[in-house]
Amino acid sequence: MSLRSRSIHIARAALTKELQLSSTSASSVQRAWQQSLVQNNTNTSMASSSYSVDFSSVRSFSSKPADAASEEPKDASTDKADETAAAEETAENSESTKVAELEQQVKDLKDNLLRSLAEQENTRRIAKRDVEQARSFAIGSFAKSLLETSDNLSRALDAVPEELRHDHDHHSVLATLYEGITMTDDGLSKAFKKNGLEKFGMPGEKFDPNIHEALFEYPDPNGEAGNIGQVMKKGFMLNSRVLRPAEVGVVKAP
């Protein structure tokens, strides 16, 4: 056999052996694949059976959750009713609080109104009194300036002797002057009285320290102790208020 033929024979034998090995491997792979399929089918059947058991157990225990689900709406409605009642109670409390606050505000406003009205009334009364006093005593300073004139007229009248005051035959000028001074004094007294100014302080009156000013005391058997015996200056009142006290001499007990 030649070398070439021998090489071909060796290569053919090796190829044949490799093909046998390949077929053996393929058959083993095919058997392994078939066994895997069988095992998978077995597992699938077992899983389906277990799943059926699980589903049956779910079905067997599904009654209680259904009952719980049926009870859930009841609990929800109860909670909603409680929330509604609580909301209504809160609204009522808030409304009562607002009513109490409004009543307190009304009370405070009423009290402030009454106080304001009372204050206005007091202010009105004080203003009225001030106006009346101002009207009554507005001529006080003017009248006080005329008191000296009235005093001078009174002194002039007192200076004429009583026996000559009406003696028109022998002392006609003096009697006429006396009459003129008397008329002037009367006119001034009438003007004083018209404006609320009046004279006071006559002999024999009871001494009053509120309206009289005692210049001296002297004993007088014909007078009563504590009475006015002599008048040095007449007093004047303006609307029942002493404008000037009378200056007098008071009789004292012997």
What's the CATH code of the domain at 232?
A: 2.30.22.10
Q: Quick check: pTM over 0.75?
A: no
3-class SS at 222?
coil
156 and 174 together in one domain = yes
Q: What is the pLDDT of residue 33?
A: 56
Range of the domain at 115: 82-138
Averaged pLDDT, 148-171: 87
Bigger pLDDT: 31 vs 72: 31
Q: Pick the range with the lowest mean pLDDT from 7-11, 54-58, 75-79.
A: 54-58
User: Average pLDDT of the chain?
Assistant: 76
Residues 245 and 213: beta-carbon distance below 8 Å: yes
Cross-strand bridge partners of residue 198? 237
Q: How many domains does the chain have?
A: 4
Q: How far apart are CA 106 and CA 52, in angstroms?
A: 79
238 and 253 together in one domain = yes
CA 91, distance to chain mean position in Å, is: 28
What b/e readout covers 141-179, taking b as 16+ CB neighbours within 10 angstroms?
A: eebeeebeebeebbebeeebeeeeeeeeeebeebbeebe
205 and 253 together in one domain = yes
133 and 144 together in one domain = no
Query: Which domain-ending residue is among 110, 138, 166?
Result: 138
